[in-house]
């Protein structure tokens, strides 16, 4: 016992270097995972924001007055109606039908006519499609038989939510 003290003959410098390399690799993986998480969050946000196409529809029998076919009077935000489809298969040559598409362009403002379609007799294509536009303050679609016999018309409106 010559006073040399406690001494470890093993050289751990290689293990320490390996440990440092492992810790650096873990830090790199953590940084990569943060990027992956951000990308997943972005993809999820896009998927959740993607519009879902919905529809409303029914059957309306004309009565000679201007009748509401469809209305969204005060949407909660920007409303995106896409298409109105009306089936004119029940029409005969004696009917004249008028369709009005109205939008409200100011809060609690008046309805403004945007589109007016008049169908006389039996159209060549009995499915009539009218393209609709975004509406912040509302959309109102009416139908009126001005000539002929009252008939039932099936209809659909497609919109994004």
SS3 state of residue 32: helix
The more confident residue out of 93 and 2 is 93
**The two structure tokens encoding residue 26:** 């873990």
**Boundaries of every domain in the chain:** 11-50, 53-160
Question: What is the rounded distance in angstroms from the CA atom of residue 98 to the CA atom of residue 111?
Answer: 17
pLDDT of 137 > 80? The answer is: yes
Question: With pLDDT > 90 as the criterion, what percentage of the chain qualifies?
Answer: 57
Given this structure, which CATH class describes domain 53-160? mainly beta
What's the confidence (pLDDT) of residue 88?
A: 95
pLDDT of residue 75: 86
Mean pLDDT of 87-114: 94
The pLDDT mean for the chain works out to 88
Burial of residue 98, with CB atoms counted within 10 A of its CB: 0-12 exposed, 13-18 middle, 19 or more buried: middle
Q: Which residue has the higher pLDDT, 100 or 13?
A: 100
Q: Decide if 86 contacts 154 (C-beta within 8 A).
A: yes
Q: Express each pLDDT in 36-95 by its tens digit.
A: 888 888 888 777 666 677 788 999 999 999 999 999 988 888 888 999 999 999 999 999
Query: What pTM was computed for the model?
Result: 0.67
End-to-end CA distance of the chain: 86
């Amino acid at each position: 016992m010559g006073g040399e003290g406690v001494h470890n003959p093993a050289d751990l410098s290689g293990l320490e270097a390996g440990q440092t390399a492992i810790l650096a690799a873990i830090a790199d993986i953590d940084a990569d995972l943060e990027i992956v998480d951000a990308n997943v969050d972005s993809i999820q946000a896009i998927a959740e924001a993607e519009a879902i196409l919905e529809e409303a529809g029914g059957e309306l029998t004309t009565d000679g007055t201007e009748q509401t076919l469809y209305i969204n009077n005060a949407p909660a935000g920007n409303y995106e109606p896409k298409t109105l489809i009306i089936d004119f298969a029940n029409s005969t040559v004696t009917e004249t039908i008028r369709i009005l598409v109205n939008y409200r362009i100011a809060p609690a403002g008046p309805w403004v006519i945007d589109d007016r379609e008049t169908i006389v007799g039996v159209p060549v294509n009995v499915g009539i499609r009218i393209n609709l536009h975004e509406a912040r303050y509302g959309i109102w679609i009416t139908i009126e038989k001005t000539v002929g016999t009252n008939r039932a018309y099936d209809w659909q409106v497609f919109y994004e939510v």
